Amino acid sequence: MRRTIIFATVQILALKSFLCFCDSVQRIPFPKNFIQICKKILCRLFRVFVHVYIHHFDRILLMGAEAHVNTCYKHFYYFATELNLIDRKELEPLVRTEQDTHDDTFTC
Ligand SMILES: [Zn+2]
């Protein structure tokens, strides 16, 4: 998991493309592979969620942090799926969790 976070951080820091949003003076264009890089980062971050839910959710429950983690995942899920940044088949490991987070009884 540490490698995934390091990968994402390095990608974001290495890409000046993420500065395109803020740099209205220089007007740096997005690189052609910007979407692919975003997809790869999100795919790897999704694996972090899978790892947390499968291997550490008992600890999260002990800390009473499940609503926080579920909310983080919910935001991740809606962002990634709304913008088609992650394949639905990649999300299959957490299908049950997605159903739980879409449940009307879910509390944030
Ligand atoms: Zn772990």
* Local confidence pLDDT in tens for the 108 residues of the chain: 677 777 777 776 666 545 555 555 666 677 788 889 889 889 888 988 998 999 999 999 999 999 999 999 999 999 999 999 998 888 887 776 555 554 443 333
Q: How far is the CA of 58 from the centre of ligand 1 (A)?
A: 12
Q: How far is the CA of 56 from the centre of ligand 1 (A)?
A: 7
Q: Where are the domains of the chain?
A: 2-102
The owner of tokens 């972090």 is: 48
Instruction: Work out the number of other CB atoms within 10 angstroms of the CB of residue 12.
Output: 13
- Using DSSP's 3-state secondary structure scheme, residue 40 falls into helix
**Short-list 11, 17, 38, CA closest to 29:** 17
Q: What's the confidence (pLDDT) of residue 104? A: 40
Q: How far is the CA of 44 from the centre of ligand 1 (A)?
A: 14
Q: How far is the CA of 50 from the centre of ligand 1 (A)?
A: 10
Cα–Cα distance between 46 and 91 in angstroms, integer? 8
Cα–Cα distance between 88 and 91 in angstroms, integer? 5
Q: How far is the CA of 2 from the centre of ligand 1 (A)?
A: 9
Query: Is the domain defined by 2-102 classed in CATH 1.20.140.30?
Result: yes
